[in-house]
Amino acid sequence: MGSIVLKDRYWAIFIGCVFVGKIFAVFTYGPDYALFTADFNRIFCPEHCWTFPENIPYSIVWAWMNPLELGRFFYGVYVVIFDALTCLGYWFFVKRVPHAYLAVIQGMSIMFYLGQGGEYQNVTILVFYPLAFFSLWLLAIPILVKLPLGWSLPWILNNHVLCVWYCSGITNGHLSWTVKIPAMITNYGILIGAFIFTIQVVRKIKNRERDKTMRKCTKCGKYWNKNSVHFRVCDNFK
């Protein structure tokens, strides 16, 4: 018990250090310029002006969770507060989520603040990943939040695809490959990596819990209760 408390303390210190870095990023780097077209044009125009009629639209839920009307700086403040509160919520109130897992996810998410592009908005996607400890099917939630769903009937998908293609520095030739690769790693790479990592941790925990009460039959390959009559029957046929 004492070792568990000590490990939790170390993870808590690690998360605290991560948030120091995140707060530093909010006051120095700031969120993605692509979400704030006026600021984008002020910095990058005339070399690379934002001419698309809108910024990249995600789902309606995403729009509710990301109040861009706060402006670029205060949106960054909002995200780091949202990040901290949800982290504390998982730590203290959701016992299913391992503290070690939470620390690793927080360590990965700092790249949304300090990585290429400063895509703070991905924090509001990553926040749903721990729900997988209730059911892996709940990982569908962050995917649906990330998709451009709910803007109209029928749902508008074309504007999202067009803006990803024509607005992004990754696809329109504005950025060199030395910038594109780090941008993809620190944004989509972290999202996909954290997604796969979450699935692996959930499965490992489920397998560990199963092995406490279940045993795999070497004859049929299925898992049965360790005290099941199945094993007595199999032993008789050896």
DSSP 20-45: HHHHHHHHHT-S-GGG-HHHHHHHHT
pLDDT at 159: 58
Q: Residue 60 is which amino acid?
A: I
Specify which of 28-42, 134-148, 174-188, 204-218 reaches the highest per-range mean pLDDT.
134-148
Phi-psi map region of 221: left, alpha, beta (phi>0 left; psi -120 to 50 alpha): left
Q: Looking at the DSSP assignment, which residues form a beta bridge with residue 216? A: 223
- Across 85-99, average pLDDT: 95
Contact criterion met (CB below 8 Å) for 50 and 167: yes
Helix (H) / strand (E) element for 116: namely none
The more confidently predicted of residues 148 and 13 is 13
Distance (Å, whole) CA 128 – CA 228: 38
Contact criterion met (CB below 8 Å) for 227 and 214: no
pTM: predicted TM-score of the whole model, two decimal places? 0.80
- Confidence check: pLDDT of 8 > 60: yes
Distance (Å, whole) CA 84 – CA 15: 10
- Across 139-157, average pLDDT: 72
Q: Residue 99 is which amino acid?
A: H
- Across 194-202, average pLDDT: 96
Pick from 53-67, 84-98, 101-115, 121-135: least confident: 53-67
The more confidently predicted of residues 220 and 133 is 133
How does residue 125 score in pLDDT terms, banded at 50, 70 and 90? Answer: very high
The number of distinct structural domains making up the chain is: 1
Q: Residue 82 is which amino acid?
A: F
pLDDT at 35: 81
pLDDT at 98: 94
How does residue 115 score in pLDDT terms, banded at 50, 70 and 90? Answer: confident
- Across 208-217, average pLDDT: 69
Helix (H) / strand (E) element for 124: namely helix 123-126
- Token pair in block for residue 197: 């990592």
> If you average pLDDT over every residue of the chain, what do you get?
80
pLDDT at 227: 66
Helix (H) / strand (E) element for 211: namely helix 190-213
Give the torsion through C-alpha atoms of 129, 205, 134, 218, to 10 deg: 130
- Token pair in block for residue 205: 């925990």
Cis amide prior to 46 (ω within 30 degrees): yes
pLDDT at 45: 79
pLDDT at 154: 47
Helix (H) / strand (E) element for 224: namely strand 223-225
Q: Looking at the DSSP assignment, which residues form a beta bridge with residue 225? A: 214
- Confidence check: pLDDT of 153 > 60: no
pLDDT at 136: 95
- Confidence check: pLDDT of 5 > 80: no
Angle at 82 between CA 193 and CA 191, to 5 degrees: 10
Q: Which residue has the tokens 């503290």?
A: 99
Range of the domain at 136: 2-236
- Across 152-175, average pLDDT: 56
